[in-house]
């Protein structure tokens, strides 16, 4: 285990803020409209209390699990996030860090490095896609994932293109022409370390998405791909059942917040779901996912693997999710703060912080295995669940 550069995800976030240009940092914060869901994802975990014990604990504690057919050292998956321009190595650094810690990596269709390279860095890679473009193009992306050896697929549906943010939306350039460079020069000049890292890597972000190709097989520009996604009519459950039928391995549906949708995901043949509100960047005032998890687990937990993402910042958060019945958690912003702060080592640092926190919670709650967590480990305040 590498020496820690920071002791918590919160410290990683502060160091990322000091290193990143303001617009890049604000793009990571995201959170739609008033940010109610963004903050509730974080605050809800703090409302849950735990019941520690003082004797009979275990010196050896086991955190390994299997999710979507992949053996992992911790019940933590790297959630797929878009262009990771917080660091030149982007998804490659994240994939190497996850591989070094024995974890699976989710790679976004909107990632900035090709699927082929990411799978070399971490063979346990799940390829994430959106319902975007025509069926032929979607099948082509699935075939590419199959050919390259992706361990599974993730379809992300928790996004409603809500661009309104009370604190203003960050400006994301379509390219780096002279006018754009001059526009962003003042804030970039205040973060010379970030700029120098890109200069050393050979240039500024390309703003293309190599895993989202056009008809001629060439990588699309970010906003062209984003436009394709926005203009694609949303899928029906029959569409999703068709999509599931195109892949013969594990397939997760990410974005569930309702029991009836969870049941329909089971009927459509998905092997896993993630209870998710896109980290608060979807429809605002959606409840925190941890408030919704127990009801969904009760409804479908025997039929499908149930995961959760949104607001995971501590190992104790992971423990609380497991106590409510989650098979594992996905993390997004937490590892991006580590990536921004210190590249691959920063991501490893964040994973170590979460793993150490989980083992600490296991000690305090008297658990030898993560399979032993249960709702009785938690004190749930009245009105907490939705």
pLDDT reading at 356 higher than 70: yes
- State mean pLDDT over 86-96: 95
290-to-46, 76, 226, 344 alpha-carbon distances in Å: 11, 15, 29, 29
Task: Write out the H or E segment, with its range, that includes residue 256.
Answer: strand 251-256
The 3-state DSSP class for residue 208 equals strand
Higher local confidence (pLDDT), 324 or 29: 324
Predicted pLDDT of residue 177: 52
pLDDT reading at 1 higher than 50: no
Task: Write out the H or E segment, with its range, that includes residue 77.
Answer: strand 76-78
Least confident of 27-31, 48-52, 59-63: 27-31
Task: Tell me the DSSP string of 105-142.
Answer: EEE-TT-SS-HHHHHHH-SSEEEEE-S-S-HHHHHHHH
Residue 113 falls in the annotated catalytic set:
no
| Contact between residue 138 and residue 386 where contact means Cβ atoms under 8 Å apart | no
Query: Sorting pLDDT into bands at 50, 70 and 90, what band is 176?
Result: low
Q: Write the pLDDT tens digit of every residue in 227-249.
A: 899 999 999 999 999 999 999 99
Task: Tell me the DSSP string of 49-76.
Answer: EE---SSS--SS-B--EEETTEEESSSE
pLDDT reading at 182 higher than 70: no
Q: Which of 87, 113, 184, 278 is catalytic?
A: 278
Measured distance CA(320)–CA(379) in Å, rounded: 10
Provide the CB-side half-sphere exposure for 164 (13 A, CA). 5
Query: Sorting pLDDT into bands at 50, 70 and 90, what band is 29?
Result: confident
The 3-state DSSP class for residue 93 equals helix
pLDDT reading at 31 higher than 90: no
Measured distance CA(89)–CA(116) in Å, rounded: 15
Compute how many other C-beta atoms are within 10 angstroms of the C-beta atom of residue 116. Answer: 13
Measured distance CA(9)–CA(314) in Å, rounded: 7
Query: Sorting pLDDT into bands at 50, 70 and 90, what band is 208?
Result: confident
- State mean pLDDT over 47-69: 96
Q: Which is it for the CA torsion 214, 217, 220, 225, positive or negative? A: positive
Predicted pLDDT of residue 190: 82
- Among residues 340, 272, 267, 265, the alpha carbon closest in space to that of 5 is found at 340
Query: Sorting pLDDT into bands at 50, 70 and 90, what band is 316?
Result: very high
Higher local confidence (pLDDT), 361 or 163: 361
pLDDT reading at 270 higher than 50: yes
């Amino acid at each position: 285990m590498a020496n820690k550069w920071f002791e918590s995800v919160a410290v990683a976030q502060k160091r990322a803020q000091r290193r990143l240009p303001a617009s890049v940092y604000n793009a990571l914060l995201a959170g739609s409209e008033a940010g109610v869901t963004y903050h509730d994802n974080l605050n809800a975990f703090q409302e849950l209390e735990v019941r520690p014990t003082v004797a009979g604990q275990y010196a050896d504690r086991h955190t390994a699990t299997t999710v979507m057919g992949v053996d992992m050292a911790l019940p933590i998956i790297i959630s797929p996030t878009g262009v990771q321009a917080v660091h030149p190595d982007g998804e490659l650094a994240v994939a190497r860090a996850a591989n070094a810690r024995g974890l699976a990596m989710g790679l976004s269709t909107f990632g900035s490095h090709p699927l082929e390279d990411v799978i070399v860095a971490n063979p346990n890679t799940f390829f994430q896609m959106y319902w975007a473009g025509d069926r032929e193009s979607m099948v082509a992306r699935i075939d590419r994932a199959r050919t390259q050896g992706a361990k599974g697929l993730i379809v992300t549906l928790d996004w409603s293109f809500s661009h309104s943010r009370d604190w203003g939306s960050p400006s994301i350039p379509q390219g780096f022409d002279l006018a754009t460079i001059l526009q962003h020069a003042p804030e970039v000049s205040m973060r010379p370390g970030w700029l120098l890292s890109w200069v050393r890597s050979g240039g500024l972000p390309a703003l293309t998405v190599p895993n989202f190709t056009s008809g001629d097989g060439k990588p699309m520009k970010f906003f062209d791909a984003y436009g394709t996604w926005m203009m694609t009519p949303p899928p029906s459950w029959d569409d999703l059942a068709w999509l599931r039928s195109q892949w013969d391995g594990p397939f997760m549906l990410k974005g569930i917040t309702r029991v009836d949708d969870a049941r329909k995901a089971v009927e459509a043949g998905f092997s896993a779901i993630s209870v998710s509100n896109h980290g608060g960047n979807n429809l605002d005032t959606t409840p925190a996912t941890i408030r919704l998890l127990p009801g969904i687990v009760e409804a479908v937990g025997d039929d499908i693997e149930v995961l959760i993402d949104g607001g995971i910042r501590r190992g104790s958060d992971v423990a609380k999710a497991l106590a409510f019945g989650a098979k594992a958690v996905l993390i997004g912003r937490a590892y991006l703060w580590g990536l921004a702060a210190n590249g691959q080592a920063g991501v490893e640092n964040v994973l170590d912080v979460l793993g150490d926190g989980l083992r600490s919670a296991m000690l305090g709650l008297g658990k030898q295995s993560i399979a032993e967590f249960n709702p009785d480990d938690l004190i749930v305040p009245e009105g907490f669940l939705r």
